[in-house]
Amino acid sequence: MARRNRRAAGGGPRPLFGGALTHEERGGRRYAVRAVAGSAATKSYRCPGCNQEIRPGTAHVVAWPVDGPDGGGDERRHWHSGCWRR
């Protein structure tokens, strides 16, 4: 009996926020950046780029420096996608 690889969508673990993690360099520091889908955004956040609220249900990005003392977890910030790219 041949075994088949499971190819159906939905297999495998899902990342915490449902988005892909990428790395970007900003002002000489390396940041981990994760896209947050609107469906995964359940709280409102303050965007440091424009100082406006990111409302629940809004797709945005989370960024934190990966060269911090504890991996940068304390410096995690939520940004509008457009503000982060600017």
Summarize as ranges the residues that interact with Zn ion (CB under 5 A).
47, 49-50, 80, 83
Rounded least distance, CB 49 to Zn ion, Å: 4
- Select from 38, 40, 33 the least CA-distant residue to 78: 33
Rounded least distance, CB 72 to Zn ion, Å: 20
* Residue whose CB is less far from Zn ion, 34 or 80: 80
* Residue whose CB is less far from Zn ion, 54 or 65: 54
Report the b/e string of 23-36 with b at 16+ CB within 10 A: eeeeeeeebbbbbb
